[in-house]
Amino acid sequence: MMADKTVKRLQANKALRQIIADFYADGHRAKEEGRPVGWIPPMNGLIELFYAMDIHPIFPENWAPICAAIGTNARHFAYAAARGYSGDLCGYFRNNIGYALDGIDEADQPLGGLPRPDFLISFGAGCIPTMKTFQVLCDHYRVPTFRADLPQVAMEDIKEHHIAYGVSQIERLVEFLEELTGRKLDLDRLSRAVACTDEACRLWDEIMDTRRAVPAPFSAAEIGIMFVMVTRHGTPIAVDFLRDVLAEVREKVRKGEGVIPHERLRLFWDNIPLWYNMRLFNYFEKWEAVVVAETYSAAWTMRMDPERPLESIAYKSLVSYPLVSCVSLNKRLELIEKAVRDYRIDGAVLHSNRSCKPISMGQMDIQKMLAEKLSVPSVMFDGDHMDGERFTMAQFQARVDAFMEMLLERK
Ligand code: SF4
């Protein structure tokens, strides 16, 4: 029987709850104090620039999982549908448009909701639904808007001229922000912000590496720790938190303490988690199975060079969606193959995500590679990372139960 709430076992979750509350409180405080609040797409180098200039960033794409976890997503979907946006569009898009256009003034929004944007930045390079989100927001809010059109280039094909173009767009953006805030960018502060991100990513990689241990010290049920990788790159907040997480999980490895007393199967998860049903990760535990690696958690890390802060944030912006538009299928297969070997995976669970077509493309090739090259069985189920109406527990159980039994027989 599944518990009602996700079972999380890391002590770090307590600190994480405070970090989440503080992030949104800081946004509201900035608004009250008359400091401009900018809404920006995630996974790019804007965050270091913002923190270096004392501007509080707001990420609609990070807001969406919170709405899904709390349950306000359904009414935001209804608002978006009432305005004519198709239910086939990405759930992040539908949630954020519904919220921003019709839900933003509701008093019962979690964490006090989002502060309204004083300006918007659409930077390019990401997926189409993200760009379209900002197009709709620009039309609606009529606030100063900065647009750039960074190209979508596979990360292995990024050359110096792409980075030089990215730097030129960042220089344009700096002028925009300096005019808006009346403050000059201090390159030393930007360099320190880049150093913080680099250290956060180094710690993140080490934290993920601890899961190579058998038994693994934590499972995908704890993946909410990535909140700091989305919202607090460029700050010591992420570094301090991840240092504590690393100490905690290393201690578990030292003591041989796993997620469950007897770990028999190690699983790989492909695609975004179901934010409204994170306890799904606990479901595997009844077979003494643990999800020890995911494609999604690998998307949030990259090393940066504080000596070249502008180039670093330009590169980060170009590979802003490392799982989506900036990774070729071959590269993705290569990354998954490495993860399967490094984490000693027994089987893979692939979430065919109706919302996110970019990440779901290529999953048949992934299954083929797993079976033919690595002899690792896999199972695919239909779902949606934002919309619980598009996920059927009974179907999931039917597929996964049979799959787990087969994995146990092979063991
Ligand atoms: S990457 Fe996928 S989940 Fe994210 S906004 Fe784009 S389509 Fe939606």
Interval 209-228 mean pLDDT: 97
Is 2's pLDDT higher than 60? Answer: no
Tokens found for residue 49: 């620039």
**Between the CA of residue 314 and those of 4, 63, 168, 318, 400, what are the distances in Å?**
43, 24, 9, 6, 42
Is 189's pLDDT higher than 50? Answer: yes
Cis peptide before 215 (omega within 30 of 0): yes
Instruction: Name residue, tokens 């996110």.
Output: 356
Q: How far is the CA of 385 from the centre of ligand 1 (A)?
A: 10
Does residue 90 line the site of ligand 1, with CB under 6 A?
yes
Give the mutation target among 77, 88, 89, 92 for probing the ligand 1 site: most ligand atoms within 8 A of CB. Answer: 92
Interval 344-372 mean pLDDT: 96
Q: How far is the CA of 122 from the centre of ligand 1 (A)?
A: 15
Q: What is the pLDDT of residue 257?
A: 98
Question: Which residue's CA is the closest to the ligand 1 atom numbered 3?
Answer: 356
Closest ligand 1 atom to residue 324 Cα is: 1
pTM of this structure: 0.95
pLDDT band at 348 (very low <50, low <70, confident <90, very high): very high
Q: What is the pLDDT of residue 154?
A: 84
Is 317's pLDDT higher than 70? Answer: yes
- Residues 70-116 have pLDDT tens digits of 999 999 999 999 999 999 999 999 999 999 999 999 999 999 999 99
- Residues 142-175 have pLDDT tens digits of 999 999 989 888 888 899 999 999 999 999 999 9
Nearest CA-CA partner of 50 in 234, 182, 180, 176:
234
Does residue 130 line the site of ligand 1, with CB under 6 A?
yes
Q: What is the pLDDT of residue 166?
A: 96
Question: Which residue's CA is the closest to the ligand 1 atom numbered 2?
Answer: 356
Write the CATH number of the domain with boundaries 190-410.
3.40.50.11900
Does residue 230 line the site of ligand 1, with CB under 6 A?
no
Give the mutation target among 324, 385, 386 for probing the ligand 1 site: most ligand atoms within 8 A of CB. Answer: 324
Q: How far is the CA of 89 from the centre of ligand 1 (A)?
A: 10
Tokens found for residue 288: 């003494």
Q: How far is the CA of 361 from the centre of ligand 1 (A)?
A: 12
Name the amino acid, one letter, at 230. V
Is 192's pLDDT higher than 60? Answer: yes
pLDDT band at 55 (very low <50, low <70, confident <90, very high): very high
pLDDT band at 3 (very low <50, low <70, confident <90, very high): very low
pLDDT band at 321 (very low <50, low <70, confident <90, very high): low
Question: Which residue's CA is the closest to the ligand 1 atom numbered 6?
Answer: 127
Residues 318, 288 contacting (CB under 8 angstroms): no
Is 13's pLDDT higher than 90? Answer: yes
Does residue 355 line the site of ligand 1, with CB under 6 A?
yes
CATH fold, domain 12-186, is: Rossmann fold (3.40.50)
d(CA 305, CA 303): 7
Q: What is the pLDDT of residue 325?
A: 63
pLDDT band at 324 (very low <50, low <70, confident <90, very high): low
| Per-position DSSP letters for 77-126, written without gaps between them | HHHHHHTT--TTS-HHHHHHHHIIIIITT-TT-GGG-PPPPSEEEEEESS
Q: What is the pLDDT of residue 62?
A: 92
Give the mutation target among 96, 352, 359 for probing the ligand 1 site: most ligand atoms within 8 A of CB. Answer: 359
Q: For the chain, what are the domain ranges?
A: 12-186, 190-410
Closest ligand 1 atom to residue 323 Cα is: 1
Residues 261, 164 contacting (CB under 8 angstroms): no
